Structure 1
Amino acid sequence: LLREMGFPQEKPVLIWCDSKAAISTVKNPGNHKAMKYIEIRFLLTRDLVEEGNLVIQYYYTSDMAADILTKALSTGHFIKLIELIGVKDLKTTGST
């Protein structure tokens, strides 16, 4: 899409994924039993990986920063993810 808009892609896009099953499905071409329920249009991801335009790597679920917006978290896990994305408390860090 970026290339079509006049912005060539010099490096593959990196996607972090916490599903080993999803990564296996994308990286290992062929017919998996569960694949019969996936629509053809969703196989674009597999094509992009094969073309070298997309790289999918495993990332631990506990370190997924996006979880802060999508899941109920324990206080400790919430604080860990807040620190991971760089959110600061202005009261304790001082504001200018």
Structure 2
Amino acid sequence: MAQGICEGIWLKRMLDEIRIPINYTMRILCDNKVAISIAKNLVHHDRTKHVEIDRHFIKEKIDHDIISVDHVPSCRQTADILTKALPRNTYENIRSNLGMIDIYHPD
């Protein structure tokens, strides 16, 4: 999430430089409910010691309304088609949402 937020802030600054201001909160979609909970609540968790700096960075951006973090189910996570082996049904659904066709099996 922290890397995605940094990329979003960079893009926003680039757009500002070319005089295309973006005046709304960036929306980060995550399929991990635990990561969202940790990002929004700074209560110390024993299993989060290695993400301490990222956690504070994300919480700061949420508090200043720079980003909002929302849950998206894994079956609707479009980027998964490029990074994971998916069940056929999920793969075909995401592929059709992207407007891609199967060149080996045209309908």
TM-score by length of 1: 0.77
Q: Which residue of 2 aligns with 1:23?
A: 36
The root-mean-square deviation of aligned C-alpha atoms, in Å, is 2.1
In structure 1, C-alpha distance between the alignment counterparts of 2:43 and 2:90, rounded to whole Å: 38
Percent identity between the aligned chains?
Answer: 29
In structure 1, C-alpha distance between the alignment counterparts of 2:91 and 2:15, rounded to whole Å: 40
Which structure carries more helix by proportion?
2
TM-score by length of 2: 0.70
- The letter of the residue matching 1:9 is I
Residue 15 of structure 2 contacts residue 22 of structure 2 at CA under 8 Å; is this kept in 1? no
Larger Rg: 1
How many residues end up aligned between the 2 structures?
90
- Stretches of structure 1 that go unaligned for 5 or more consecutive residues are none
Q: Which residue of 1 aligns with 2:22?
A: 9
Q: Which runs of 4+ in 1 moved over 3 A?
A: 88-92
In structure 2, C-alpha distance between the alignment counterparts of 1:74 and 1:18, rounded to whole Å: 16
